[in-house]
Amino acid sequence: GCLTVIMPFIGAILFAFILWISTWRMYKRFILIPIGVNHKTVSALIATFILLLLLIIPTTFLALTLVDRGDALINYLSPYLTTTGLPSKAPEWLSNLPFMGQEFARMWRRFATNQAELNQFLSQFIAPTRELVIKISAIFANGFVQLCFVFFVLFFLFRDGDKLSKMLRIAAEKLGGQLGSTMLHKVSETVIAVMVGIIGTAVGQATVALFGFLIAGVPAPLLLAFATFFLSMVPIGPPIIWGGAA
């Protein structure tokens, strides 16, 4: 019964442990020791709040920028889809697309001369778009709940980290002796190295992408750099951003 209840949150718990292992040394050096070991609850609250801010601030900026760009896109497209209709000539970039550019240009000219056909063509995307928005909203809602649970668990890991570390060391030594203790240390070092590698690579790719976007004069370079940072943790993520910008 308990396993059934906790199963949906296994990923969040594991992620909280990864964050705890990766930041434990910095937490003890810069927060716990300066504040005092007798104020572990306050120290844990401060550390959790700092990590929360590091995630919320760029995410909020990204979301607000996306909303602003979305409004601008809607305002730009509304006249073409409601009153004035499409221009008679297709944009050059659309006509020059490889393989399908000429076909897209012919569709553009056909829709430009027949508003009713354009409306009928667009209406078939209403239901799929609505379903997509609902699914994306559900994913974001679930992600928000999981994220709240991550920081909830992380607070207790920071607060009781010394006790938990001792328990893990004792368990490892009882199970494997000196080898168990060594393996526990290796696991900790490996987790830290992987996290530093992932975050460092993401920061590096985002920084290089930002300079590239600025040099090329791409609109909203900071937004695209943030998106590059987050998608750098996903296989083939950054090419989606700089490929679209190109």
DSSP label at residue 9 = G
Instruction: List the one residue out of 30, 27, 7 whose CA is nearest residue 19.
Output: 27
List pLDDT tens digits, range 67-78: 777 777 778 777
Cα torsion angle, 44, 168, 12, 55, sign: positive
Question: How confident is the model at residue 108, as a pLDDT?
Answer: 84
- The pTM for the full model equals 0.82
Could you give the CA distance from residue 196 to residue 198 in angstroms, rounded to a whole number? 6
Could you give the CA distance from residue 44 to residue 23 in angstroms, rounded to a whole number? 12
List pLDDT tens digits, range 165-192: 999 999 999 998 889 999 999 999 999 9
Question: How confident is the model at residue 119, as a pLDDT?
Answer: 82
List pLDDT tens digits, range 19-59: 999 999 999 999 999 998 889 999 999 999 999 998 888 77
pLDDT (mean) for 228-234: 85
